[in-house]
Structure 1
């Protein structure tokens, strides 16, 4: 199997270009990130070219984290900010060759929030389509992201199907699904046709995938058996030196 290092957590102490080089040296096949906007996209593209890695995806800005923002696209009254964040993310993705943009919903609930979110997603899908960029949405668990608009995979799939854009998919994070819904393998099997990217971390502590409630060696075998051939995103908290947590990687790459 192939794996992507999420540089929002792995090697997060390094400048983004240096983290890309570290991921390549560790044996990852690709990288992804959260919010790369403080880094010159030219420097990112250069690091990708030097290592031969692809940048799979990035997130739209959260807004003002100090004020509690964790995304903008489902916030009634902030539609203009949401569109600006989406356009910025698509432009950055184009500049570095990223394949998808994760549109962050934010902390909201109710019918007005859904209308705002769907409007933002329609814009995102239209704006990204000419460049071959996919849009993904991700439910987050209430332990880590209380109040987040997207709470579970059923809600996300309902929105994806309502919009009906061919470049809108689900980001299936095994950690979030495991914390909120359980039955990670069964849900992944059922939802795979709608999945644009898969991420993972130990449940419940979000550490490396060598312990916890999800049997990742088995799950990686299942994913390979389902025909998934894209890199899986390692989005876990290393809790220290990233290199010290990579004992799982060599065996998993042989699957």
Structure 2
């Protein structure tokens, strides 16, 4: 299908982009890599009056260190996230999960910020940034604000971003010394995850001292498996990990669709959590 008509602007700076969004009010839409937005436009699921293309804003790209965190520009492509040595060294979970996103063509065009702002609970990266205890930095007419990932996603395809705000950076704590693994089940290659699990594990003398578990496609937003995280504290082997994984679906609200029923997604959450934690803990 052909998208509905819209006006188009391509700002050169963040300030210009914010002004354009402020002028458009509720009728503006940000175009990043376009891998999620353009299909929605073609299907006429989105009807913006103004498209603000941020592809030329150089300050929105790249990765840098800021003490104990990495700061990743919102327009950094999936390919560049995977290839960046800082990400691979200090945020291996993010690199590993990003390698599973769609296919090479989409990874060269799609962006980290675009994926997070789109807020699809079936997308891989929202749950990963949630597990990393990441923060998202938005800029609007009143300046910048930093939003914890746990507060960023509010409902299906919805976030706390205001219509006149632009996501500019993603901050993730360095996880040097943590084990990590991203496990997902999909019906065919390059399809959305039926369920995905992002696992981070910090060990201490053969036991799990701390674990963080992010769940993909287990509700209207990405979720943390809080009950399993608690149960994993002190776990010292595969049996203890398996018992902790049995609570992975607690507090989730998976949907039913052509790929899976809610009950099947709950089963997958338990199985994939066990696999992901065993791999992250080096016990696979």
Is this a same-fold pair by TM over 0.5?
no
Bigger share in strand: 2
Task: Calculate the TM-score normalised by the size of structure 2.
Answer: 0.25
More helix by share: 1
- TM-score scaled by structure 1? 0.27
